[in-house]
Structure 1
Amino acid sequence: MNHPAPPVLRTVVGDLAVDSVTGPALAHEHLVLDLDHRGDGAAVLDPGLHSAAVTADLAALRAEFGLSLVVELTCRGMGRDVRALARIARETRIAVVAATGWYYEPFHTPEIDGSSVDELTDALVQEIDGGIGATGIRPGVLGEIGSHGDTPTAPEAKVLRASARAALATGLSVATHAQLGRGGLAQLELLTGEGLPAHRISIGHQDLLDDPAVHKELAASGAYVAFDTVGKDGYQSDDTRLRLLLALVEAGHADRVLLSCDISRHGYLLDEGGRGYGHLFRSFLPEARAAGVDDDLIDLMTRRNPLCFLTGARVEEF
């Protein structure tokens, strides 16, 4: 049975009226995470060790910039802990949307190999409708649904199809992980091939792909183009990110842009000498303003677009 897109945001502390989100959002973040396959503990945001630093950084951003919403895309196999997310949301008074789904193949959980697309869809719908485990906390987005390379592997394609079907069944949207920005068009083809409208899809990590033609093609389809690793200079310079963003804006696609920092290691946290969750607001957006991006466009990209992506609403409604 299909449900209409929710008129409210589904957050970790309950449903929230969209019009109560008056400040900017971070469209792709991690507040709790465990991707430690190497055993070095780097790709970890441990709720017992790092939540105080995460909470302090977010609370400061709420005070300084009005940060109102974080889309937290830690899903199955990534160390998801929605109880910790709920604590952070309450302490910071920032809305947090939790996710369900599966990351790219190296982080797939065991059930994927032996399950059909329909069985994976049912597992996602059950979690969306019934809550994550015994917490009762319901995810408000499918993500970050992953693939790597120019074409998803067979297991990744299965997960993408299941995610599209679950999105159609529940009224949620799908945010992807395109490893190093590659494979976004193939992801879009798989998702829309299942009947999911492009405007319910965000293709991730496109700021890591120096290919404005791909960005324009994604945006022209109606999909959201996520420039969501802002500040990660080890992957791409912010100068290049800004050039790519300006090209997309100048092509008339500002209404398809999502922005974030994708904090995915504790070394990125402010209290460990990293740039923290606020680099987007403190550095990148001032550079965009200096390049001619006005405040209305910044509000579009940081507030209205994330709300439209999550709910399926038109930008004119905000």
Structure 2
Amino acid sequence: MSVIRTVTGPLAAADVTGPVLAHEHLVADLRRDTDGEAALLPGAHAAPVTAELAALREEFGLALVVELTCRGMGRDVATLTRISRESDVAVVAATGWYYEAFHPAEVTAARDAEELAAVLVREIENGIDGTAVSPGVLGEVGTHGDVIGAAEEKTLRASARAAVRTGLSLATHCHLGHGGLAQLAVLAEEGLPAHRVSLGHQDLLDDPGVHRRLAQAGAYIAFDTVGKENYQSDATRLRLLLSLLEAGHADRVLLSCDISRHGYLTAEGGQGYGHLFRSFLPQLRAAGADDDLIDLMTRRNPVRFLTGTRTEETR
């Protein structure tokens, strides 16, 4: 039986009967000198996050959130556990390292990728920060260009090795959609099969040819910043997604909103975690997508990704 590791314990894949948000943040701290608002803090924002998830469970049947806040990003699994219990929505926690601007000192201090891989394996096997909560995915492992720098290659290889050794899948951060082909090449060198890889933020890259190449290689293509109109219009996202679907790659698509700062919450006037369901999916249906296709992209695909299942066994 395929099992997903959540912050409240193992969850049978067959028990995920509603949609999944494949790339989100429920607790995060990405504040820097140039951006003091990029945060979802436990004290200030956990309550509105919980309320949003509970409302989405009630209205749309939201079953699971893949929460990709990792080491150095303000991860807080105690708060994730509380949000999950109070909203009655399952949450998967992550481990790994974001792109270089957010690398903690441990990345620089490590001699090589192997030393960092051991850090991740210990966390996966023993729990996060002294808790009983184990990560259910590697991510969001970051690079920030078409050419991968030395520090980011070290963390990418470390994460791939940890994924190979533990059986977890791996989600990446492709900065503004760039670098997916280079990431996939490194991950393949480390022996991680493409069907256990999700390449992030591909909806920010207006290049259907790259999307097709990544999908043909077997990786998941994450259209995961839906609603972030300041980065890309949803009209462009829809065009890119339809191109990928027309090429026959519906089974490679993951969808989400990547809520990463408190200003995106509905309580503060933002589009919220539900933008995918309330706005984007209706547009996709109007373009011809039926319920089975929507279920494939929002439920069966993310469950297959998390469990490392090659064929579509989740019905």
Name the TM tier (shorter chain). Answer: over 0.9
The residue number in structure 2 matching 1:68 is 63
1:53 is aligned, of 41, 48, 55, to 48
1:94 partner letter = V
- TM-score, normalising length from structure 2? 0.98
Identity of aligned residues (%): 70
2:3 is aligned, of 8, 21, 33, to 8
- TM-score, normalising length from structure 1? 0.97
1:78 is aligned, of 73, 84, 95, to 73
Q: Secondary structure at the match of 1:103?
A: coil
2:53 partner letter = L
In the TM superposition, residue 16 of structure 1 has moved relative to its aligned partner by 0.7
1:295 is aligned, of 270, 276, 291, to 291
The residue number in structure 1 matching 2:109 is 114
1:257 partner letter = V
Deviations for 1:252-310, whole angstroms, at most 9, x for unmatched residues? 00000000000011000001000000000000000000001111110000000000000
Q: Distance in 2 between matches of 1:16 and 1:255?
A: 22
Q: Distance in 2 between matches of 1:314 and 1:114?
A: 37
2:29 is aligned, of 23, 34, 48, to 34
Q: Distance in 1 between matches of 2:84 and 2:294?
A: 24
The residue number in structure 1 matching 2:135 is 139
- The number of residue pairs the alignment matches comes to 313
- Superposition map of 1:192-211 within 5 A: 192-211=188-207
In the TM superposition, residue 133 of structure 1 has moved relative to its aligned partner by 1.3
Q: Secondary structure at the match of 1:23?
A: coil
In the TM superposition, residue 227 of structure 1 has moved relative to its aligned partner by 0.2
1:202 partner letter = S
1:89 is aligned, of 84, 92, 98, to 84
Q: Secondary structure at the match of 2:235?
A: helix
User: Contact 2:304/2:312 (CA < 8 Å) preserved in 1?
Assistant: no
Asked whether 1:182 is paired with 2:178, we answer yes
Q: Secondary structure at the match of 2:42?
A: coil
In the TM superposition, residue 315 of structure 1 has moved relative to its aligned partner by 4.3
2:179 partner letter = G
2:298 partner letter = T
Asked whether 1:105 is paired with 2:96, we answer no
Asked whether 1:284 is paired with 2:307, we answer no
1:23 is aligned, of 8, 13, 18, to 18
RMSD: 0.9
Unaligned runs of 5+ in 1: 1-5
Q: Secondary structure at the match of 1:226?
A: strand
Q: Distance in 1 between matches of 2:276 and 2:59?
A: 13
In the TM superposition, residue 40 of structure 1 has moved relative to its aligned partner by 4.8
Unaligned runs of 5+ in 2: none
The residue number in structure 2 matching 1:258 is 254
The residue number in structure 2 matching 1:3 is none
The residue number in structure 1 matching 2:271 is 275
Q: Which runs of 4+ in 1 moved over 4 A?
A: none
Q: Distance in 2 between matches of 1:130 and 1:182?
A: 34
The residue number in structure 2 matching 1:153 is 149
